[in-house]
Chains A and B, each alone.
Chain A
């Protein structure tokens, strides 16, 4: 492992002829029981512009920083549980995690798609600017904290302080939300199907108009879900904390 790529796209490290035949594209297989995360990430970073190579990663064994910093429209399938920051800073790529994800999955994602088939730990999609993050299971505390344009669809529940200071994008929760949902939220729109333990400062319930039902239907479809948009409630900013007012001092 760790060979530098000189002649792309067919001569990449861990190129796998069977996978190439199966996927009809350039493909590579990394077994992290023997290969290093650094070798995998270096290969992903060396993909040429426009590459749609398919990567398959086995035995991630909870390693941190798998598939971070990709900037090509490649696809990465990971079989097993991953550690912290998986698919962080993602641009263009589609990353599928067939397992649970540790802290900060898809943090600061710019574009592309990250799909966690299990649960995600805290701070999923933190500060992400774009793309779609799908979590089929539950996401823990601080899901979508300071999100800046990403769309996040969680099939299960989210923990406390989710959507804290969320600035843009949409957060969809098909289960229940924990305490202090949307605390100090800016312009992110939050949709929750289940119950909300409590709302954070300046986060309020809002009416579902036709455009909200339409965008929610699109998001649910993009996440491969069949939930009925009519079952959701919208939450967002009351916009009372935008400008400092001395009467609100206790809310900051």
Chain B
């Protein structure tokens, strides 16, 4: 059991409240998992300043300033670094791949949790309520966000086993369920030269989706292909810089509910996570059908 939630804002006036709204969803989701939690925030100017790239990492051994200095020396450009709970957030006026490469080299022990110009992934182990305050989630702003609370079943309770998984630029995935053939697909992806950060099944899904997107598929097609290739139980929420998508496996035993108004689209494991959203009483609320990809673009 895990809890997932996401919010895609259509009304710009709600953007200052993204973190507060996502926080109310995350804390309700805590009843479906208290081992670990994480959020992916899109469009927060503090996390993703204009004209800069952002790379988030976990498992960094040194402090933020020292780490940023080490990355800056390799990048040859100024780098800011700050701790946000167990995650460290670096930004620089450089491309996401350049910054990510410098972080990987300067901090070999660290695990990248996101890279891009729109997204920051903050995650760690512990109770979701506590993590939300270390992430300073209530202060976050932006145009969309995803959240996950974890009850670990198939791999260890570690920061790297926490969701969201973000393995491509500005891409993000959260998962309730477990893939049963992930080891086979992992071997296939490794054979194609793709490296993994964890033993987690969801990372295989994230790598698969990222691989399909790299090869030219859109999110809709990537998730159709995932349904064909993956066995097991899953309700997935997948976000990219411009899209927000939900898909469930054919058996659909993992719960999901979608609510939609003119101002936002929201998805959650359970309806009660959505009760703090403005206008929820008049939202169109429905349960997504199995193996149907629901996607919204901005």
Which residues does A use to contact B, with CB under 8 Å? 61-64, 80-81, 83-84, 100, 102-103, 118-119, 121-122, 140-141, 159-160
Give the distance to chain A from B235, nearest Cβ to Cβ, in Å.
12
Contact A100/B271 with A80-B281, A81-B285, A121-B287 known, Cβ cut-off 8 Å: yes
Pair B290/A160 contact, Cβ less than 8 Å? yes
Pair A62/B252 contact, Cβ less than 8 Å? no
Pair A140/B270 contact, Cβ less than 8 Å? no
Contact A122/B253 with A100-B285, A140-B287 known, Cβ cut-off 8 Å: yes
Give the distance to chain B from A136, nearest Cβ to Cβ, in Å.
14
B263 contacts partner chain A, Cβ-Cβ < 8 Å: no
Contact A159/B252 with A100-B285, A119-B286 known, Cβ cut-off 8 Å: yes
The 8 A-B pairs with the shortest beta carbon distances in the complex, nearest first, are: A62-B272, A62-B271, A61-B275, A140-B287, A81-B271, A141-B252, A121-B287, A83-B272
Contact A102/B271 with A121-B255, A122-B252, A159-B252 known, Cβ cut-off 8 Å: yes
Pair B255/A103 contact, Cβ less than 8 Å? yes
- Which residues from A are CB-within-8-Å of B287? 119, 121-122, 140
B246 contacts partner chain A, Cβ-Cβ < 8 Å: no
B274 contacts partner chain A, Cβ-Cβ < 8 Å: yes
Give the distance to chain A from B193, nearest Cβ to Cβ, in Å.
38
Most buried by A among B250, B251, B274, B275: B275
Which residue of the partner chain B has the closest CB to A140?
A: B287
Apart from A102-B271, A121-B255, A159-B289, list 9 A-B contacts with CB within 8 A.
Answer: A62-B272, A81-B271, A83-B270, A83-B272, A118-B285, A119-B285, A119-B286, A140-B252, A141-B252
- Which residues from B are CB-within-8-Å of A100? 271, 285
A103 to B32, CA, bound (A): 15
Mostly helix, strand, loop or mixed at chain B's interface? Answer: loop
- Which residues from B are CB-within-8-Å of A103? 255
Most buried by A among B257, B271, B286: B271
Which residue of the partner chain B has the closest CB to A81?
A: B271
Pair B272/A61 contact, Cβ less than 8 Å? yes
- Which residues from B are CB-within-8-Å of A80? 281
Give the distance to chain A from B32, nearest Cβ to Cβ, in Å.
11
A-B contact pairs, 14 of them (CB 8 A): A61-B272, A62-B273, A83-B270, A83-B272, A84-B270, A100-B271, A102-B270, A118-B285, A119-B287, A122-B255, A141-B253, A141-B290, A159-B289, A159-B290
- Which residues from B are CB-within-8-Å of A118? 285
Mostly helix, strand, loop or mixed at chain A's interface? Answer: loop
Contact mask for chain B residues 257-298; partner A; CB cutoff 8 A; 1 contact, 0 none: 100000000000011111100000100011101100000000
- Which residues from A are CB-within-8-Å of B274? 62
Pair A62/B253 contact, Cβ less than 8 Å? no
Contact mask for chain B residues 165-194; partner A; CB cutoff 8 A; 1 contact, 0 none: 000000000000000000000000000000
Give the distance to chain A from B28, nearest Cβ to Cβ, in Å.
9
Contact A63/B272 with A121-B287, A140-B287, A160-B290 known, Cβ cut-off 8 Å: yes
A141 to B254, CA, bound (A): 11
Contact mask for chain B residues 46-64; partner A; CB cutoff 8 A; 1 contact, 0 none: 0000000000000000000
A205 to B281, CA, bound (A): 41
Pair B252/A83 contact, Cβ less than 8 Å? no
Give the distance to chain B from A104, nearest Cβ to Cβ, in Å.
11
A65 to B275, CA, bound (A): 17
Which residue of the partner chain A has the closest CB to B31?
A: A64
Give the distance to chain A from B289, nearest Cβ to Cβ, in Å.
7
A103 to B252, CA, bound (A): 12
Give the distance to chain B from A64, nearest Cβ to Cβ, in Å.
8
Which residue of the partner chain A has the closest CB to B28?
A: A62
Pair B286/A83 contact, Cβ less than 8 Å? no
List B112-133 residues whose CB lies under 8 Å from chain A: none
Give the distance to chain A from B195, nearest Cβ to Cβ, in Å.
37
A121 to B248, CA, bound (A): 14
- Which residues from A are CB-within-8-Å of B257? 121
A159 to B248, CA, bound (A): 13
A159 to B290, CA, bound (A): 9
Which residue of the partner chain B has the closest CB to A33?
A: B275
Give the distance to chain B from A223, nearest Cβ to Cβ, in Å.
21
A81 to B255, CA, bound (A): 15
A83 to B270, CA, bound (A): 7
- Which residues from B are CB-within-8-Å of A119? 285-287
